[in-house]
């Protein structure tokens, strides 16, 4: 008995570190050093120096950004405008759009024999670089009916031409649609895999229990997909808050500044305009906006693990 308890104690001591008296494990520290150094130099230092840079004029950059810079946030109009508000539009419509169409395609595709072909086609845009995607959609939206697919279609009904990317009323909608086209494959593939994970017996049980197909979808499938849906949503939200390339290629924030988003503003201020400290303040804003999303993500994964 005593021999066993000694063994247990020493095993505990070993687990908590080689020399429990001093509470410091030199060997572990040695192995950790390279990783910590790399993280420190290439991640921690840039973050801190960006934050420091953004306070170059005290709180001046932030005050200007949130109160005076109408290109970043303008609450005087209705609906509000500016890069921050545009990003809100993106988060809401792009994310729901991707999930809605992703789910729709996933559910419909599982019912047909040529499902792999459909999924491959929908997923194809994921393989295209965002810049190439931007170029493709610029052609689609061109007012010239000889090159612009959409206006050519509208022409059949004697409508248009509409300058989708040149009209402040249309530009964000047009960009978000292009964005959804590019990402719906991602949502489709993940949700369709999750859909396959739902046991057919559960669906049959619901059918026998008296549920119509629409009720099965609403009350069984959607709740059972809530975790994958939230995974997709969080991933899309994080991506869209950082959105830059599509805007840069398609409109360069224009017309005027009507299609700017946060990341594009950051680039625009820091590089072409040369206001590095102001750009840094925008970057910090972006980080502040992302932090709650990241916390939500980490928390959810933790709670999932507890449940399992």
Partner 1 sequence: MATVTFDHVSKRYGPEVVAVNDLNLEIQDGEFLVLVGPSGCGKTTALRCVAGLEEITDGQLRIGDRVVNDVAPKDRDIAMVFQSYALYPHMSVFDNLAFGLKLRKTPKDQIKRRVDEAAKILGLERLLDRKPKALSGGQRQRVALGRAIVREPEVFLMDEPLSNLDAKLRVETRANIARLHQRLETTTVYVTHDQVEAMTMGDRIAVMRDGLLQQVGSPQDLYEHPVNIFVAGFIGSPSMNFATTQVDEGGLKLGEARLELSAKAAQVAADRPRGSQVTIGFRPEHLELLNGEDSGVVKIPAKVDVVEFLGNEELLHADAQGNEIVALVSSDRRVKVGDLIDFALPIDKLHIFDPETEKSLTA
CB nearer to partner 1: pick between 162 and 206: 206
| Pick from 290, 294, 268, 293: nearest CA to 279 | 268
Report the nearest approach of partner 1 to the CB of residue 206 (Å).
7
d(CA 103, CA 222): 9
Q: With contact defined as beta carbons under 8 Å apart, do 174 and 166 qualify?
A: no
Sign of CA dihedral 6, 10, 15, 20: positive
Using the minimum distance from each CB to partner 1, give the nearer residue, 208 or 288: 208
Q: How far is the CB of 111 from partner 1 (least distance, A)?
A: 16
Given the complex with partner 1, which of 144 and 204 has the nearer CB atom?
204
Long-range contacts of 60-68 (CB under 8 A, 24+ apart): 61/277, 61/278, 61/280, 61/281, 62/281, 62/285, 64/278, 65/278, 65/281, 65/282, 65/285
CB of 274 vs partner 1, minimal distance in Å: 54
Q: If we measure between CA atoms, which residue out of 59, 52, 46, 72 comes closest to residue 289?
A: 72
Residue nearer to partner 1 on the CB measure, 131 or 226: 226
Within 10 A of 99 (CB to CB), how many other CB atoms are there?
23
CB of 296 to partner 1, least distance (A): 20
Cβ 168 to partner 1 shortest distance, Å: 44
Among the listed residues 282, 271, 293, the one whose alpha carbon sits nearest the alpha carbon of residue 82: 282
Collapsing DSSP to helix, strand or coil, 14 comes out as: helix
The Cα-based distances of 178 to 9, 113, 131, 136, 222 in angstroms read 62, 28, 12, 9, 26
Least Å from the CB of residue 110 to partner 1: 17
- Least separation in angstroms between residue 194's CB and partner 1 is 13
- Closer Cβ to partner 1, 4 or 308, answer by number: 308
Q: Which one, 205 or 273, has the nearer CB to partner 1?
A: 205
Measured from the CB atom, the residue of 79 and 210 that comes closer to partner 1 is 210
Query: Which residues bind to partner 1, rule: CB under 8 A?
Result: 199, 201-202, 204-212, 215, 219-220, 223-224, 226, 307
């Amino acid at each position: 008995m005593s021999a066993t308890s000694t063994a247990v104690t020493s095993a505990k001591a070993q687990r908590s570190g080689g020399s429990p008296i001093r509470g410091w494990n030199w060997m572990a520290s040695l192995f950790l050093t390279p990783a910590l150094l790399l993280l420190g130099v290439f991640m921690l230092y840039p973050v801190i120096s960006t934050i420091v840079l953004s306070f170059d004029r005290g709180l001046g950059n932030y005050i200007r950004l949130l109160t005076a810079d109408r290109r970043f946030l303008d609450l005087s109009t209705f609906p509000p405008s500016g890069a921050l508000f545009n990003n809100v539009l993106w988060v809401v419509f792009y994310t729901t759009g991707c999930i809605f169409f992703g789910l729709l395609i996933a559910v419909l595709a599982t019912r047909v024999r040529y499902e792999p072909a459909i999924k491959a086609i929908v997923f194809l845009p994921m393989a295209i670089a965002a810049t190439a995607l931007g170029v493709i959609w610029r052609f689609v939206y061109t007012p010239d009916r000889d090159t612009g697919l959409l206006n050519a279609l509208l022409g059949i009904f004697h409508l248009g031409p509409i300058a989708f990317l040149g009209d402040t009323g249309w530009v964000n909608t047009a960009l978000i649609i292009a964005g959804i086209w590019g990402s719906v494959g991602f949502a489709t593939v993940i949700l369709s895999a999750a859909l396959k994970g739902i046991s057919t017996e559960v669906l049959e049980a619901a059918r026998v229990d008296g549920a119509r197909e629409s009720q099965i979808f609403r009350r069984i499938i959607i709740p059972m997909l809530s975790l994958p849906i939230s995974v997709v949503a969080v991933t899309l939200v994080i991506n869209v808050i950082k959105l830059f390339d599509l805007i840069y290629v398609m409109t360069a924030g224009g017309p005027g500044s009507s299609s700017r988003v946060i990341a594009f503003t950051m680039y625009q201020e820091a590089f072409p305009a040369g206001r590095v400290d102001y750009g840094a303040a925008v970057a910090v804003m972006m980080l502040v906006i992302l932090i709650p999303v990241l916390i939500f993500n980490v928390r959810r994964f933790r709670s999932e693990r507890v449940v399992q």
